[in-house]
């Protein structure tokens, strides 16, 4: 190739990814690819057979993640990945079901399912790739869009308070809550492996750059600039009170707290078994 690109015949993740589907559809600088790679890397290291992993996603850029991982994978309707996954996880408790979806999918249209699955302690690992906007539809505001941020539907700046997702997840009963960014691949990998082997509703928020939908209108620049922003502002604080983990973009130097915030034992929701009286 005249471009000088390095061409290889195989890749270590070939058996974990649906290699025939690559290259993916995501924009340059997008963080979703890193999440997918970290996820499959964690599958390989999880100690759980690959065939027992199931991936469910909703609609949006992050919803496409399920289409690239080489496990039984289901790309469902907008917001409904969690109840769909509940059906699998509850009927076949031996399967390890991970939901990968975006902030809009999981916490706007799917918000009701999110809180009820957490309340029930459904055996799900839920990864919310938070890029602060609806990317697939071209950059509209969502429930995590920070105050004052620009988007296609907040052309004068976002005037709604966003969710603080770790705080929400803790409040509704998650057994595990973490927040990392796509920059923190090692920490994220460790968090995934740990969470895959826990019971209950486990939630990891993963902050991810979206240079097209969010970076450009907010003058953040390309994906690298957004990553540099994370590098500069992220503060690891595992023990922080989750009321303090709001993300504020108006204060350029305010910290973005990341860490493994909550890790408690909470048994998974199981179907009721009625013992036969004898």
Contact residues toward another protein (CB under 8 A) are: 18, 21, 51-52, 54, 56, 59, 66-67, 70-77, 79-80, 82-92, 94-95, 112-113, 116, 271-274, 276-278
Question: Please, is 90 exposed, middle or buried when counting C-beta atoms within 10 Å of its C-beta (0-12, 13-18, 19+)?
Answer: middle
- Cα angle vertex 106, ends 19, 208, to 5°? 60
Which of 26, 54 has the CB closer to another protein? 54
Closer to another protein at the Cβ: 214 or 269?
A: 269
Pick the closest to residue 78 from 55, 53, 111 (CA basis).
111
CB of 67 to another protein, least distance (A): 6
- Helix (H) or strand (E) segment spanning residue 32: helix 32-45
Comparison of 52 and 266: residue with beta carbon closer to another protein = 52
Q: Facing residues of 258 across strands?
A: 236
Q: What's the min distance (Å) between Cβ of 10 and another protein?
A: 17
**Minimum CB distance to another protein, residue 233 (Å):** 36
What is the C-alpha to C-alpha distance for residues 192 and 187, in angstroms, rounded to an integer? 9
Q: How far is the CB of 70 from another protein (least distance, A)?
A: 6
Q: Which is nearer to another protein, 13 or 71 (CB)?
A: 71
Nearer of residues 33 and 259 to another protein, judged by Cβ: 33
Q: What are the backbone angles phi and psi of residue 89, rounded to the nearest 5°?
A: -65, -30
CB of 275 to another protein, least distance (A): 9
Say if residues 155 and 192 touch (Cβ distance below 8 Å): no
**Which residues are CB-contacts of 278 (< 8 A; sequence separation ≥ 6)?**
none
């Amino acid at each position: 190739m005249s471009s000088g690109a390095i061409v290889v015949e195989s890749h270590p993740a070939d058996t974990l990814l649906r290699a025939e589907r690559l290259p993916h559809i995501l924009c340059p600088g997008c963080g979703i690819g890193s999440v997918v790679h970290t996820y499959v890397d964690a599958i390989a290291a999880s100690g759980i057979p690959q065939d027992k992993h199931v991936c469910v996603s909703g609609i949006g850029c992050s919803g496409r993640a399920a289409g690239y991982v080489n496990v039984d994978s289901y790309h469902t309707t907008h917001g409904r990945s969690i109840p769909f996954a509940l059906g699998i996880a509850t009927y076949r408790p031996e399967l390890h079901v991970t939901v990968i979806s975006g902030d809009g999918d999981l916490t706007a249209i799917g918000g009701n399912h999110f809180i009820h699955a957490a309340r029930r302690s459904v055996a799900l690992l839920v990864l919310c790739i938070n890029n602060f906007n609806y990317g697939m539809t071209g950059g509209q505001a969502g429930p995590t869009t920070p105050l004052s941020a620009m988007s296609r539907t907040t052309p004068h700046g976002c005037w709604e308070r966003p969710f603080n997702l770790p705080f929400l997840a803790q409040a509704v009963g998650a057994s595990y809550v973490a927040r990392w960014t796509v920059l923190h691949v090692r920490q994220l990998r460790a968090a995934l492996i740990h969470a895959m082997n826990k019971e209950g509703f486990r939630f990891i928020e993963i902050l991810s750059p979206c240079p097209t939908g969010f970076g450009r209108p907010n003058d953040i620049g390309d994906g690298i600039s957004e990553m540099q922003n994370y590098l500069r502002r992220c503060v690891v604080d595992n023990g922080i009170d989750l009321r303090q983990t709001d993300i504020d973009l108006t204060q350029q130097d305010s910290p973005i707290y990341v860490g493994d915030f909550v890790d408690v034992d909470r048994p998974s929701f199981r179907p009721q078994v009625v013992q036969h009286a004898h």
